[in-house]
Structure formats: structure tokens, C-alpha cells
Structure 1
Amino acid sequence: MEIMATPSNRLILQSDWDSAVRERNGKAWVSFKSATPPSEYSEVCGHGRSPEGLPYLTTKDEQFSVSDITKKSVVIAYNGETASLSRKFVAPTITFSAIHNPNKQVTGLDTSSGGLGVSSDSEGNLRLWQTDTGEVRRKLEGHVGDVYTCRFFPSGIVVLSAGSDMMVKVWSVETGACAATMTGHKAAILDTAIVDRGRNVITTSRDGTAKLWDVGQQQCLTTFEELRGDVNCCSLGSPENSIDLGPANNALSDREVSTDGKMLLLGCENRSVQGFGLQSREQIFCLNCDSAVNACTFVSEVFAVCGTQEGRVYVLDLRNTSTPLTSWKESRGPVLSLLAHKGGFFVSTGDGSCFHVSDDWATSTELTGSDCDPLYKVCSDGTSIYTACRDGAIRRYSLTYL
């Protein structure tokens, strides 16, 4: 196991670098933030554009260099006396600023492969919109208070939402009508997961429980209790067959569908990430972290990852959960959201950064755009990555540049 005690080095590029260097003589700042100060600063300088529309870029100081320049991305390298580092920086292809009030935080976000997005803000608004134009198609009204989580069912035509009003709601994308409402939690609902095609869903709450629901009859099938504090996040995965998920449960309701072979991850305020056999209801492991666990997700059949309030990322090997496979902390804010992608994962944080960690657990790519405003959620529709920000904007990044 490798655990880094001190924050690792970072390269940071001005959030709006792509527009700053668009014209001749344009400039954007870049810095190498060292784990052992002082940091070093320089500038990326624009010198116009090629006939193909690509910017001509140079750096002010020889320790920094640029390469692999495209319309929306650039690779910047730092080579100093004691350290060297290289990162790809990707700018958004479009920023949607009118879906929500710019003065309100966008806290919930999901997108479908059918060209639709759903998002929620700190004013309790729930919006359904087109991912190509940002045009709001429907306002989903019925929650009372903040909506903390929203996501599409696999069909892409149904939305699941929940929030401070302790209600779980299911919405029709086609009509905007609320098709079902489930109640039973005693405090705000912070996260949800969908089992298979969606006959059952999972919710986690500040009341210290997670619940498995039957959507059709709007009833709770089981409650995971004694989790010792707020349950901030959850993720559902299907680990490889060698991982023991507990004994088969022969007393299941016929309303419980496709829970066999599933592991439920729960990230808790008490600094733990816990794994349960969804069908067996048995706890498989409990790993203590450095601080409250804000986000967790499965990366593959054998790896999962979680992120904490102190900004530390933990990678877990589900075949041996007694200790994390690796753990590290970068010079960033709290981890707020995780998204599995190509054997690795994206991380969004409280300081406005969003970065991709490759399948060898190394940071490779940074998404720019947020000027230090927290990014509460990161998601994908298969062709683009989207982020939800405190500044009220939703940004889209093309996967062709990543």
C-alpha cells in the first residue's frame, strides 16, 4: 500500500485560458505548485491562430513548455531543478449559464445518452434541458426545499430525485409529471442509486440509514441501519464472482429485483466507507478514512474509489479491503464528486478543479473553466463530460479532447 503523507505537486492554468490566449499577445498565467514551497509562476502567451484555427502558444519561462495544442486543449510541462510534471488542460466546449439562476449553486446533475440533462440548484429548482443547446424543456415541480440529487433511470425517460424534504420522487421526462413519491426517511436524503433498470432504488440520508425501495408500490423493502451517522453518498456495483457478498437470502419479497451479485458502497460522515452485500444485507467491510467520505464509486469489478472532506482519494481493492490499495492527497479542496471513466475516474473538488485519474492511479488531465468555485457534480453522457458549479453554470467538455 502507498499512502502519500503530503500533498503532491500540481500544475495550475488560468481558468479561462482558452479565451485569454485567443488573440495575438493574449496571456494566461500558469503555476507549478510544489509540495515544498515556493511555487513557480509563468505565462502562456498567444500569437494568433493558424489557418486551421489552432492557437500558436509559447511560454514566458523556459521551465515551462507547451505541446499537443488543439482548439480546446493543451499539454503543459514543467521541468525544474528538483521536479518535473506534465498535464493536459481541457477547456469547455460550451458553458450553459441560463439553465439556472447564476446566483444559485448547481448541486445536482445527470445526463442521458438521449440528449437530455437534469439538474437541481440551491433554490430547490429541478430542470430538464437539452444537452446540445441548454434549452430548458421542463421544470419539475413538487419538491419542498433543496433537491440534493437527481439522476436518469437507464431508459433515459424517467428521472429520480430527492432532497431536504425527505421525499424520493420519480418523474416522467415526456410529461414532467411526478409518477411516484416515496417517504420514510427522517432527515434529508443526500444520494441515490438505481438497481438494474429501476424497479428498485436506493437512498441515503442524514438520518443515518440507507433504504432499498420498491418503486412500483412506493414501499421500503429494507433499511440499512447502525451506520453511525449521516450517510453522504452511495454507489452500486457488481464485483467479480470471487468476492464474497454474504449468503443468499431466500426470504426476499418478489418486489426485489436484480439485487443478487450487487455490492452497495456507503460513504459516511463518521469517516468510514462501508460495503454491503445488497441482497444478503451483510456488511462486507468497513474502512476508516481521514475525514468524512463525500463521494464513492466503483471503477471496475475489483476496484472502487472514495474521496473525503480533507481532499484525500482512496483506491480500494475489493478482494482485500483491510487497507486501501493506494491513497493520496493533492493540493485541492474537498472531494465532492467521482465519476468512473475508462478504468480510471474523474474527481471534482471544492476548489473548482476537476481532474482525471488514469487506470494506473496517476493524475493525467485537468478540466478548466471554474474560477475556484466548487464543482458539486461531474457526469457523462458517453460523448461529453459535464460539471455542475457553485457559480450557477453547467460546463460541457468533449471527450475527443481528453
Structure 2
Amino acid sequence: MAQPIILPISTVQHDFQAVVQDVLDGLVPEDKFWVSCYKTEEPSVHGKAVVALDENNRDLLIFRGQDGVEFKECRQGAYSVSCPSLALGETRVAVPSASYSSPEDIRKQGKQITAFDVAPNGTQFATGYQDGSVVVRPSSSSTSTPSVISKAHLSTVTSIRFFPSSRVLLTGGVDFSLSILSAEPSDTPAGYETTRATPVRTLRGHTRAITSTGIVARGRNVLSGSKDGSLRLWDVPTSAQIRTLAAGTNRFIPILALSTGERWKPDAHATDADGTPAEAPDGREVETNDKVVFCALQDGSFELFDLRTKRAEFRSPPGAAGLRSALQSIAYGPEDHLLVTGSASGFVSVHDTRTLGEGPITTFRRNSAPIEDINFASLSETSFSLGAPSFTGVGVAVATEDGLPYVADVRPNGPLVRAELVGTDCDQVRFVRVIGGDVWTAADDGVVRRYES
């Protein structure tokens, strides 16, 4: 296996925009903020960026890098960092277009976000907390007023997924249960008002904490993965289990994350890989015949399950020496035949789903900080560009424990860092979602951030 590629890190003082605004408002003639660049096994570079008003055009800001770093404003609100000594070319520094603080009562209690998702239509998002509560808020307003609040679980919420309708939630918790919640906001002349919601369905059967969930097609069936090492397929209308599958070659290895989607190469044959006739689907199954599920396992391997045959079709090796650590995140992109995994030791691996047995097509890392979450991001010509149209391709948005989330390009010219997602102040970033061209993150500071590409 080829050595992993080491990608650089560039980061900026988290409140540098406030510094820039002070200069623009004329409060000070010029000011500085820090800029740092890193690359594993190479000397770090810690510099400053000076911002001042142009002497002739008082609406124009001039940026000047110091101590080995360069900082530019490529167009209004679009910045870049570069560092010649680390061979770090201009890299986009993306700042949040919107930030959403936790509701006041939650902030006062110091609760961290333990689960997060954004509605497919982008109109609202949901956060879960350690006390079992779930809060839904509109994305159209930066206020912290919830549209829906629910005490969905007895203790920590570990997973939230919106149904395709964007008006129903699937949640999972450490209390071994799943809940189905209405997330329909109350539309009043004043906007959103808070609704108290109770679960309309509760699904029970796991024997340890649920770690990840998934929606099959429109949501008649749902999936759950757990630390009990089981993957379970559920019938929502009856709250009943349809099937339980054992992860890790039937060894019940804990599942830490899962991702589902359509099979990349639909198989019309009615037999399993070993020639065993495929059993008829359960009458409660809806649109499972062409679906697969990838599970990230605690032993560092991932496993592919076919929902048609209800069998494991492939399991990767736990990892080569130095790479063997728990897989904490996984994302399947059927449109591009790609699978991406993130490990507890900071490795990101990209696989071609048509040639899984050949190993990853690329593996990269920035440092040893665990990868908390990962999602595919389709890169258009203008996605996180520096002014002129960039190349199109496939990217991944990465949430990291060190509070330095980023968007990496993995095809066609990757892996390389397409954009640094700045704004957190050393707080762990636990979740990342991609809706349309926008990237959303949720961090331990209780803030949800939205980055427009």
C-alpha cells in the first residue's frame, strides 16, 4: 500500500473578520491578526496579516502578510492563505455565511451538540443533546428560537436524520432506542413558533447505544447501527424489526457509522455470490431491492451489506500497520462510485466501490486528529473558488476533532485542500453536512455554521 499523502493545514484567527471590520469602520487605521500554516514533520509557520485602509480609496482594504505567510482578499468576502516555505499555494479561507447559536436555555446549561442534521430542502436543521432533547430550528433566521422541541430520548441523542420530506426526523440514542418525530414547523404570521413534539413511533431492540441511522428511499424502512455490533432494518408503520445483521463477519463488531444508497451496478440475478438463491423480500420492505449499506467498524474495517440478499458482500481488512484504528465516519457516493472513510487516527481513505478488493485509490491525512464526520461535496467551477472559475470534481467535507474542518478535492486533481472552513476557536467540530453547494458544521461550542460555496 502506498504511503498516505500528507496535506497541509492553514488557519486564521477565528475572529479575524471583526478585526477587518474595525479597520473598515475607521476605528483603527490598521490592525493585525494571526495566520498559521502547518505540515506534519515540517516546521510550522506562524505569521501575521496586516490589514489597513488604502490611502486613496478609503473603502478599499489592503492586506499584507508577515513572517512567512501571505493573506489576500481575492474578491469581497473571499480570502486566501499561502505559505511559500511549506509549498502551500493559495488556499481558500471560507468564512461562515450564517452562524446559529444554541437556544439560550441550552447555552446556560453548557450542553454540547451530540447529534446534527440538515433538512434535504435546507429550510431547517436539527440538533440533539446529552439530556435526550432534540431541537429543530429554521435556517432562514439567525435567532435561536426553536420551531420544534422534543424530549425524544432518556439520555444522549447520538444520531439525527431527516426523512426526504424534510418534515420528519429519525433519531437514535444511548438508551438503545430509535424515535420518529414530526419536524413540521408551525407557520404563523410571525414566522416560526415553538411546538412541543412527542415521538410518534419508538423502535426498540438494540442492546447497546445506537451510533448511526439511515433512511431507505422515502422512509417506509429505516436502518440503525449500534455498539452491539448489529445492523437492523425496521418497518416504520409497525415499529417492528424486519431483519438483524451481524457486523464484522458475524462477530458483532461495534458499528460506529453507516451510509446507505443505491447499488452502483444493479444485479438482476436471483442468487447470492455463493450461488444460494436469494430469499424473497419481506412484505414490509419498500425499495430495498437495489440498496446497499456500508458500515464503519470499531476494528478499523468497513463492511458492505446488500439489502436485497441481507448478507455481507465485502469486508475490508482492518488496516495496514500504522493505519489500524477505529473507523468513525463513512460516506457512500453512488453517483461517482466512491466510498470515503475517516479514522480515529486522522486518515481519510477513498475507495472505488467497483473495485473494493483492490484497496483505497488514495489515502491522506493532515495530522493525527480523529475524523469525526465526513460527507461528499460536489465541486462546481465556482465552489470555494478564489475568483476565477476552478475545476469541477468530487470533494469531501471533513469534520475533525482539532477544530480545523476543511473541504478536500479528491477528483480529478486531488487529494488537495480546496478550502479551510474557519470560525471555530479550537472547539472540536463533530458533524458536517452538505446540502446543495453549502457545507454545514456543528461544533462543541454549540454553534452551527453554514458555509456557502
TM-score of the pair, normalised by structure 1: 0.91
TM superposition shift of 1:114? 5.3
Cα displacement string for residues 251-295 of structure 1 (whole angstroms, at most 9, x for unaligned residues): 211111111222210001111111111221222221223210100
Does the 8 Å contact 1:293/1:309 carry over to 2?
A: yes
Contact 1:267–1:293 (CA<8 Å) still a contact in 2?
A: yes
RMSD between superposed Cα atoms in Å: 2.4
Q: Return closer, same or farther for 1:91/1:37 CA change in 2, 3 Å cut-off.
A: same
Q: For residue 101 of structure 1, give the secondary structure of its aligned residue in structure 2.
A: helix
Deviation track 1:159-218 (CA, whole Å, cap 9, x = no partner) reads 110101111100112362321110000011011000000000000001111100000111
1:173–1:9 CA distance, 2 compared to 1 (3 A): closer
Deviations 1:221-277 (A, max 9, x none): 111112542110000022322789973734211111111222210001111111111
Residues 260 and 84 of structure 1, relative CA distance in 2, 3 Å threshold: same
Task: Tell me, yes or no, if the aligned pair for 2:11 and 2:404 is still in contact at 8 Å.
Answer: no
Q: Shift of residue 44 of structure 1? A: 1.5
- Decide whether aligned partners of structure 1 residues 219 and 57 sit closer, same or farther in structure 2, where only a CA change above 3 A counts: same
Indicate if the aligned counterparts of 2:212 and 2:226 stay in contact, CA closer than 8 A.
Answer: yes
Is 1:311 the equivalent of 2:346?
yes
Q: CA deviation at 1:324?
A: 1.1
Conserved in 2, the CA contact under 8 Å of 1:299 and 1:344?
A: no
2:374 paired with 1:338: yes
In the alignment, which of 326, 331, 341 is matched to residue 297 of structure 1? 331
Equivalent residue, structure 1, for 2:235: 214
Within 5 A, what are the aligned runs for 1:57-206? 57-61=63-67, 63-71=69-77, 73-80=78-85, 83-99=87-103, 100-101=106-107, 103-112=110-119, 113=121, 115-133=123-141, 134-174=144-184, 176-206=197-227
Name the stretch that deviates more: 33-42 or 364-373.
33-42
Larger-gyration structure (1/2): 2
What is the aligned partner in structure 2 of residue 260 from structure 1? 289
1:30 aligns with 2:35: yes
Mapped partners of 1:366, 1:104: distance in 2: 26
Q: Is the 8 A contact 1:299 1:341 kept in 2?
A: no
User: What is the distance in 1 between the residues matched to 2:36 and 2:229?
Assistant: 42
Counterparts of 1:2 and 1:319 in 2: how far apart (Å)?
20
What displacement does 1:307 show? 0.2
> Given the alignment, which residue of 396, 406, 421 partners 1:355?
406
The answer (yes or no) to whether the contact 2:47–2:68 under 8 Å persists in 1 is: no
Contact 1:55 1:70 in 2 (8 A): no
Q: Assess if the C-alpha contact under 8 Å between 1:54 and 1:69 holds in 2.
A: no
User: Who is 1:39 aligned against?
Assistant: 44
Gaps of at least 5 residues in structure 2 are: 24-29, 185-194, 379-393
Between the aligned partners of 2:261 and 2:400, the Cα distance in structure 1 is: 23
CA distance in 1 between counterparts of 2:444 and 2:245 reads 32
- Residues 51 and 205 (structure 1), Cα distance of their counterparts in 2 relative to 1, 3 Å cut: farther
Q: Secondary structure at the match of 1:128?
A: strand
Which of 336-345 and 10-19 deviates more?
10-19
Unaligned runs of 5+ in 1: none
CA distance in 1, matches of 2:117, 2:16: 27
Counterpart of 1:240? 264
After TM superposition, give the deviation of residue 38 of structure 1 in Å.
1.8
Using the aligned pairs only, state the percent identity: 26
Change (3 A) 1:11 1:383: closer
8 Å CA contact retained: 1:22, 1:46: no
Evaluate the alpha carbon distance shift between residue 84 and residue 44 of structure 1 in structure 2; reply closer, same or farther with a 3 A threshold.
same
Are the counterparts in 1 of residues 432 and 440 from structure 2 also a CA contact under 8 Å? yes
| CA-CA distance at 1:53 after TM superposition | 6.9
**Residue of structure 1 in register with 2:429 after alignment:** 375
Letter in 1 for 2:116: L
